[in-house]
Amino acid sequence: MSTVLSLYRASIKEFVRDRSALFWTFAFPVIFIVLFGLIFSGSSSPSYTVGLVNEDDGAVGNALAQTFGQVKPFTIKTGTREAELDHLKKGQIDLVIIIPSGLSQAVSSGQTAKVQMVYDPSGNATNAQIVVNIVQQVLADFNSGYTHVTPPLALAQQTVTAHHESSIDFLMPGILAMSLMQLGLFATATPLVSLRQDQVLRRLGATPLPRWKLLASQVMLRLTIGLAQAAVIVGLSIWVFNVHIEGSLLAVAGVVLLGALTFVAIGYLVASLARTVESANGITTAVNFPMMFLSGIFFPLALLPAFLTPVVRALPLTYLADALRQVAVGSVPEFPMMVDLAVLAGWAVVCALLSARFFKWE
């Protein structure tokens, strides 16, 4: 075991000292996250769905409800208090405005009545602030129509925690899955083939070093890189783009490890089939492209035409992205978690067995 650890330490040193490998390993996913983060997390679409609950049956309440309906960025849905709060908690609407019963009466008797507003401040800080401002503006305008000393309407804010899923929430696990796939393809298959082509593998066979120890150290290196990439991607998403991690980080790390293992096994299989670095590059590119676009890492699977469904369901990346979305941002599952994990494990085992059978050392 100490030989494996020495080889592992050596390969980590080698990796850390290889500036360009280091750069591409981390820069590529970071560029993706930052690019998509900037595109999708900005307030480029200032539109908010509002659940309006009008419990007042007087003139003031109706007028107020009408005013809210005229606010441009608001799309109004009306319903009972229970139904709208439920929608808010499910993330289907952005806020709930409640006009309480007796509001008209209170206003006409010169008292200040409270309009209630319920929203989730954690989802997106900028959006929450905008919404509060809009509602306050509406109330201020409304109040200016009255000449009371005390303004007739005040805002009572109430916050809840709701499940939101913004585009960056959807994309972060996808980008994480993509970088794990590319770790297996580009950072495993091609280097292995060049080690063989440069006769390093054969020459190491001249020492008593058992081959499995070299392989074990290489797999450990890739898994370490996979975890480090995941840490950078998840960290950036949390701190820069306010992505909220629903599950435990430990569960995320577990799925990352399984995904890295699956794609490293696929990388070994590619290295078993390819004779030259050029053919390895060809195969990895051919595998990379369909996975990038057919595994739902950049857009929901529902957007793909139905005839592609069998392909989508065959690709391991589909299940890795789905599993990561479930544990990381609590997405609605495409497949049950157990199915995701079983498919990934199945791919890993099958590819590992085929590699063991077909991998050539020289």
Partner 1 sequence: MASTTDVIRVENLRKYYGKTKAVDDINFAVYSGEIFGMLGPNGAGKSTTIEMIEGLRVPDAGAVSVLGLRQPQDAKAIKQRIGIQLQTTALYPRLTVTELLDLFHTFYPGQRTVPTAELIRTVDLEEKADTRSKQLSGGQKQRLSVALALVNDPEILFLDEPTTGMDPQARRQLWDVVESLRQRGKTILMTTHYMEEAQQLCDRVAIVDHGHIIELGSPADLIQRYFTDIAIQFQDGQTSAERYAALPGVSHAATEDGRVTVYSTDVPRTMAALLEREREGGGVLQNLNVHGATLEDVFLKLTGRALRD
The tokens describing 272, both together, are 């078993």
The sign of the dihedral angle between the CA atoms of 83, 89, 91, 97 is positive
The label of the residue with tokens 């391991």 reads 316
Under the binding rule (CB under 8 A), the answer on residue 6 touching partner 1 is yes
Candidate segments 60-68, 196-204, 275-283, 344-352, binder of partner 1 by CB under 8 A: 196-204
Which residues have a Cβ under 8 Å from the Cβ of 200 and sit 6 or more positions away? none
Instruction: Find, among 187, 196, 192, 113, the residue nearest to 155 by Cα.
Output: 113
**Closest distance between partner 1 and the C-beta of residue 211, in Å?**
12
Under the binding rule (CB under 8 A), the answer on residue 200 touching partner 1 is yes
Instruction: Find, among 54, 49, 50, the residue nearest to 64 by Cα.
Output: 54
Q: Do residues 182 and 288 lie in contact, with contact meaning Cβ atoms separated by under 8 Å?
A: yes
Instruction: Find, among 164, 167, 198, 174, the residue nearest to 296 by Cα.
Output: 174
Candidate segments 114-122, 200-208, 285-293, 329-337, binder of partner 1 by CB under 8 A: 200-208
Q: Give the HSE-up count for residue 315: Cα atoms under 13 Å, Cβ half-sphere.
A: 24
Identity of the residue, 121 or 205, whose beta carbon is nearer to partner 1 in the bound complex: 205
Candidate segments 97-105, 197-205, 248-256, 329-337, binder of partner 1 by CB under 8 A: 197-205
Q: Which of residues 7-26 bind partner 1 (CB under 8 A)?
A: 7, 10-11, 13-14, 17-18
Which of 30, 195, 216, 223 contacts partner 1 by CB under 8 A? 195
Separation of alpha carbons 229 and 352, rounded Å:
23
Which of 75, 111, 150, 199 contacts partner 1 by CB under 8 A? 199
Instruction: Find, among 312, 316, 313, the residue nearest to 350 by Cα.
Output: 316
Under the binding rule (CB under 8 A), the answer on residue 3 touching partner 1 is yes
Which of 57, 141, 198, 278 contacts partner 1 by CB under 8 A? 198
**Closest distance between partner 1 and the C-beta of residue 268, in Å?**
17
Q: Which of residues 201-220 bind partner 1 (CB under 8 A)?
A: 202-209
Q: Which residues bind partner 1 (CB under 8 A)?
A: 2-3, 6-7, 10-11, 13-14, 17-18, 195, 198-200, 202-209
